[in-house]
Amino acid sequence: MSLAHRRPTAGNQAATPALHPLDRLLGERRPIVMGILNLTPDSFADGGLFVDPATALAHAKQMIANGADIVDVGAESTRPYPGMHPVSADEEWARLIPVLPQVVALGVPISIDTMKAEVAARALALGAAIVNDVWGLQRDPAMAGVVAAHQVPVVVTHNREAADPAIDILADIEAFFSRSLAIAARAGIARHRIVLDPGIGFGKTPAQSLAAIAGLGRLRAFGLPVLMGLSRKRFINAVVPSSPQDRLAGSIAGNVLAVLEGAAIVRVHDVAETVQALRVAAAIRAAR
């Protein structure tokens, strides 16, 4: 599964295709761990902890030391309403610029977690390697063009304005992905540069989030890598009442099961614990 990557070059001269870092990671055929770096005051699990640039950089370094393959940097909370406070592109960028260049310099692929094409373009220009769009190319009409111009992978996340308990959530996710893939194709994004994320907690009831995780095998029918972002999410509280900070065990259980069902990437807050759990699970399977 190729994710070949070329950056635009001066004078529109053709550049020699190079293997994208995500392509290399997928080629290792092991679970890829994406560590979360929220530069936000209002994220549901760690809002306010990493607004200081020095603290944010130290956290990124620690996640990499603990085994993170990718660092996903975001500067606007995408938590469900109420509690999510939209910010302008300028404010989002003001949170990113003191940290992003230093995190890029750490040497692992950096994903920019944004729903704004303007912010994505600025981040890619500074060396970010992946776009993580929680609205799956369907919120900002310019996003697909930015991804296509930079020829980078994009994480297409399923989302809804509000949860509807009456719908078949897997059918809704499939229809959403089909629309996103059509948008990507029209913009010139190669299909093999797309990662699918069922959007656990986004516009879903806890029961629907559980169904989306359980139905991961069905989503793999698209033939694309699947990212699972269930770390500390609200569905865990529906199973075992707990605060976001007390959902480590539930997050690990979900991520191990997701990987066993074929998830290629897991997006997590707790890198060291997740890496250990995934390696032990892999060792047990290898010993069969």
Q: Is 232 annotated as catalytic?
A: no
**Cβ contacts of 191 within 8 Å, gap of 6 or more:** 181, 184, 185, 224
Alpha helices in the chain (DSSP H): 21-27, 53-65, 89-96, 100-104, 117-125, 143-150, 169-187, 206-214, 216-219, 234-239, 248-260, 271-286
- Range 12-21, long-range pairs (CB < 8 A, 24+ positions): 20/129, 20/152, 20/153, 20/193, 21/108, 21/109, 21/129
Q: Is 267 annotated as catalytic?
A: yes
CB 111 within 8 A of CB 132: yes
CB 22 within 8 A of CB 130: yes
Give the active site residue among 116, 232, 233, 247. Answer: 233
Give the active site residue among 79, 160, 232, 267. Answer: 267
Q: How far apart are CA 130 and CA 26, in angstroms?
A: 14
CB 23 within 8 A of CB 3: yes
The catalytic residues are 233, 267
